[in-house]
Amino acid sequence: MAGDGYDGTPAARCRDGKHDRTRCLMARVWPIAAMFAALVRPALAGPPYISDDPEPTDTTHFEIYSFNLGTVARGGTTGMTGVDFNYGAAPDLQLTAMLPAGFNSSVGGSTSFGMSDIELAAKYRFLHQDTFGLDVSIFPRVFLPSGSNVIGFNSPAVLLPIWVQKDWGGGWSSFGGGGCEMGGLGSEDFCLAGAVLTYQILPKLQIGAEFYHQTADKIGTPATSSLGVGVRYDLNDTYHLLGYVNRGIENTNETNQISWYASILFTF
């Protein structure tokens, strides 16, 4: 699997949810957007999870996700729809580009739509389970401003994570890791971490559970933690269905009453 989450207090990563609330139509939209953004970024995920895995796309092959995701909190709903392209450029090297469109709907307010920030990334696996006991990869990401006046930041940012994975017999596997993001107008640097445990319950069906945490990305805003469950069903070698839901367990009302991710994966 290759990878590739608002209320009255400003909070978690507006940059992630691609919602430029400092340039939104109403100043009161900014606190909502900043809080939502922590949980609506697919870019951190080994889909359908928020955490990523270290396994790159097979060499000369493609993995393309057509996705929708969002988060509901006390202040409203925010989310994204887009396409996540992954290409196995060389052994242990994956190139990624994500092209999303975002939306934000505040309680009692208006709904904004627009193109979101473009994401470019490269995953490189430098350690392998057969020799080291774990797969280990770096997966740096660059976020480029879309130029939209209502969705997305107008300044770039960089995420620098490391991801590890261990597979066991009987269909069990775990992966996770974390990193920090730097840059982004209107936010401060923040860090994130997550862990996933999956089980291949049937030849075509995999289920999993995840714990995820992110520090506050703005002074005076709360951190966020969540628990989630995911599923992947392989229709055949080319078409795959993925789904995920999670809920905050820390600052729940302000950050994440419920979040979702759904996608169709094309592999060839």
Q: Looking at residue 232, which CATH number applies to its domain? A: 2.40.160.40
Query: What pLDDT was estimated at residue 220?
Result: 66
Backbone Cα Rg of the chain: 17
Calpha distance 15→182 (Å, rounded) = 10
Mean pLDDT, residues 51-79 taken together = 93
pTM: 0.81
Structural domain includes residue 1: no
Residue 24: pLDDT band (50, 70, 90) is very low
Could you give the percent of the chain with pLDDT greater than 70? 78
Structural domain includes residue 196: yes
Structural domain includes residue 105: yes
Which residue did the predictor score with more confidence, 54 or 152? Answer: 54
Question: CA neighbours within 13 Å on the CB side: how many for 224?
Answer: 35
Name 106's Cβ contacts closer than 8 Å, sequence gap at least 6.
Answer: 6, 28, 29, 32, 75, 76
Number of structural domains found in the chain: 1
The C-alpha angle with vertex 243 and arms to 98 and 248, in degrees rounded to 5, equals 90
Q: What are the CA-CA distances from residue 188 to residues 20, 27, 90, 257 (Å)? A: 14, 19, 35, 24
Using CA of residue 146, residue 41, residue 114, residue 109, what is the dihedral sign? negative
Query: What pLDDT was estimated at residue 186?
Result: 57
Residue 64: pLDDT band (50, 70, 90) is very high
Could you tell me which of 104, 111, 72, 109 has the C-alpha nearest to residue 255?
72
Domain encompassing residue 50: 14-267
Which residue did the predictor score with more confidence, 156 or 193? Answer: 193
Query: What pLDDT was estimated at residue 9?
Result: 30
Name 260's Cβ contacts closer than 8 Å, sequence gap at least 6.
Answer: 69, 70, 243, 244, 245
Mean pLDDT, residues 247-261 taken together = 91
pLDDT at 7 over 90: no
pLDDT at 28 over 70: no
Could you give the percent of the chain with pLDDT greater than 90? 58
Structural domain includes residue 6: no
Residue 156: pLDDT band (50, 70, 90) is confident
The 10s digit of each residue's pLDDT in 93-132 is: 999 999 999 887 777 777 777 778 889 999 999 999 999 9
Structural domain includes residue 79: yes
Residue 19: pLDDT band (50, 70, 90) is very low
The 10s digit of each residue's pLDDT in 199-236 is: 999 999 999 999 999 998 766 678 999 999 999 999 99
pLDDT at 15 over 90: no
Structural domain includes residue 7: no
Structural domain includes residue 198: yes
Structural domain includes residue 91: yes
Least confident of 61-75, 92-106, 182-196: 182-196
